[in-house]
Amino acid sequence: MKGSVLVVLVAGIGSRYGGLKQVDRIGKSGETMLDYSVYDAFRSNFQKVVSYRLDKTLSPQGSVARGVCGIENGYLVSVEELTAISQRDGRIFNTAPDGTERDLAPDTPVSMNFWGFPLEAISHIRRYFEKFLKTSVGDPKRECYIPRTVDWLIKNKTLSFKALNAGADWFGVIYKEDKASTTARVAELVARSVYPASLWA
């Protein structure tokens, strides 16, 4: 099969946000953050993974989950999902389930679950998901993370992935308190004609 397929993470119960942040309105015409993500993807080449500096993706409201990327010669060599990254007193660190802390450099490249896959990847992703389901029976809170899926594909030499440095500050909604600043940032970008006033008009 030829061509690419865009995969954007939109699942989840929004426990930190307190609701379904994927469909919460941000733009003046009712656009959601998902709308803006898809819009950006279709006006660019999305056959890569977009990476950001870790320190540009944190929330002042609390911890975040990020896929920490190992990159060599422009290609991903690993993706490690860390689910409790915080910043305190100038220090960025992840807290593991057992309570141990691991320091992370501010310029660590991380994935924001913005992936472009070739169509042939879908069958491999389905195979990983089926394995995940078999090992997750009885644990409804267990999540199948895209970064862990990609890491599995890399480690098994199934696919290779180019990494694209975003070169921009990330913004979005993780906690309910993030919505006001995100809405203001979108309005600013609309005023600068980065986005049209009505995204899909």
Q: Which residue type occupies 176?
A: K
Fold of 4-191: Spore Coat Polysaccharide Biosynthesis Protein SpsA; Chain A (3.90.550)
Sequence spans of domains, the chain: 4-191
pLDDT at 60: 87
Residues of the chain with pLDDT below 70 are 1-16, 18-22, 44-48
pLDDT at 46: 57
Instruction: DSSP for 155-201, please give it.
Output: HTTS---BEEE--S-----SSGGGHHHHHHHHHHHHHTTSS-SSTT-
pLDDT at 1: 41
pLDDT at 3: 60
pLDDT at 72: 95
Residues 125 and 116: their CA atoms lie apart, in Å, by: 13
pLDDT at 20: 67
